[in-house]
């Protein structure tokens, strides 16, 4: 079982949308129905990710995971935090992580891959996203506080890993 990570291409969009559809259903069934609701991330984000900072995890020629990773990022929602970041140095962001059903270790692979490329990462998730909160804590991400996106996306809990 060989896994690789590569940039998302426009040809991947349908598969990526399918993974996000599964992730929304999984979250709703596991106590987190509001993080992505019925339609997030929108098709426009997926298309933009395919042209910019989107990545997919491939296993045996099939897309099994997806995420957004941007180095030297500026996430406007992170400018104001109820709490404090570990540092004010340049950082990378990870967003929109999702995996196909019945796969294990993909979230770990994604976090390891990102941290192997940039040693100061900020990431956020919904308060009700227990699997992601557990994965972040297990991997040394420190809870830093809360950030607010907008009325639609709402408040998120923020983490950072540096080192």
In this prediction, what percent of the chain has a pLDDT beyond 90? 77
For residue range 78-111, list pLDDT tens digits in order.
Answer: 999 999 999 999 999 999 999 997 788 999 999 9
Architecture of the structural domain at 3-162:
3-Layer(aba) Sandwich (3.40)
In this prediction, what percent of the chain has a pLDDT beyond 70? 98
For residue range 17-43, list pLDDT tens digits in order.
Answer: 999 999 999 888 888 888 887 878 888
Q: What is the pLDDT of residue 19?
A: 95
- What is the rounded radius of gyration, in angstroms, for the C-alpha atoms of the chain? 15
Q: What is the pLDDT of residue 153?
A: 66
* C-alpha span between 41 and 13 (Å, rounded): 12
Q: What is the 3-state secondary structure (H, E, C) of 67-130?
A: EEEEEEECCHHHHCEEECCCCCCCEEEEEEEEECCCCCCHHHHHHHHHHHHCCEEEEEECCCCH
Contact 153/124 with Cβ under 8 angstroms?
A: no
Q: What residues form DSSP beta bridges with 39?
A: none
* C-alpha span between 73 and 146 (Å, rounded): 18
Give the mean model confidence (pLDDT) for residues 109-122.
97
pLDDT band at 151 (very low <50, low <70, confident <90, very high): low
Q: What is the pLDDT of residue 34?
A: 82
CB hemisphere CA count around 145 (13 angstroms): 12
Q: What residues form DSSP beta bridges with 143?
A: 159
Domain boundary assignment for the chain: 3-162
| 3-state SS, residue 26 | helix
């Amino acid at each position: 079982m060989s896994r690789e990570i590569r940039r998302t291409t426009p040809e991947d969009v349908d598969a990526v949308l399918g993974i996000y559809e599964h992730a929304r259903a999984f979250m709703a069934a596991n106590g987190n129905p509001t993080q992505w609701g019925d339609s997030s991330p929108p098709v426009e984000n997926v298309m933009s990710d395919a042209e910019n900072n989107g990545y997919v995890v491939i296993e045996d020629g099939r897309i099994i995971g997806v995420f957004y990773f941007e180095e030297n990022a500026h996430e406007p929602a992170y400018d104001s935090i109820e709490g404090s970041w570990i540092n004010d140095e340049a950082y990378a962001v990870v967003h929109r992580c999702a995996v196909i059903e019945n796969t294990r270790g993909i979230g770990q692979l994604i976090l390891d891959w990102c941290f192997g490329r940039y040693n100061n990462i900020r990431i956020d998730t919904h308060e009700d996203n227990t699997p992601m909160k557990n994965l972040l804590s297990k991997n040394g991400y420190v809870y830093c506080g809360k950030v607010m996106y907008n009325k639609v996306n709402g408040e998120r809990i923020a983490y950072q890993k540096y080192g």
